Amino acid sequence: MHESIAGRLHELDGWIWRPEVTFSVYGERGVIDVAAWHAASRSLLIIELKTRLVDPQELVAVMDRRRRLGRAITSDLGWDPLTVSTWVAIEENGTNGRRVTAHRRLLRAAFPVDGRGLRAWLGHPTGRIGALSFWSDHLEEG
């Protein structure tokens, strides 16, 4: 998934990205799968790649923590975001589809933007978003 997401970001004007960004801020530690930066809009996008959706509640909590800490996490990269957004890209398969459906209210409350909305935002990032979409070789509805 990393390679496929990286290829998509590379195709988009103005985006740069870093894989596996580690952090320790205020005692909170972790790794961001992909941190993407759009300098013109000063938009930071924190991307979580999930091959399996196991614990939706934990996913929501982890992404909220990363969004809150995003500015501090990426300051070492020289990025100074006006907005910090999140995107959960879930590998498209039947099991993940059933898990998303079973937890759709929780997941949509935390990540209201789907693949279509994410595609539009990536082309012209304005404001903060929380997105969840299924991923195969390209952005999918979800």
> Which domains are seen in the chain, by residue range?
2-135 (3.40.1350)
Does the model's pTM come out above 0.75? yes
CB neighbour class for 133 (10 Å; exposed up to 12, middle 13-18, buried from 19): buried
> Which pLDDT score is estimated for 40?
97
User: pLDDT tens for residues 79-123?
Assistant: 999 999 999 999 999 999 999 999 999 999 999 999 999 999 999
Residue given tokens 């909590």 in the structure block: 61
Q: Tell me: pLDDT of 139 over 50.
A: no
Residue 141's pLDDT band (cuts 50, 70, 90): very low
High-pLDDT (> 90) share of the chain, %: 89
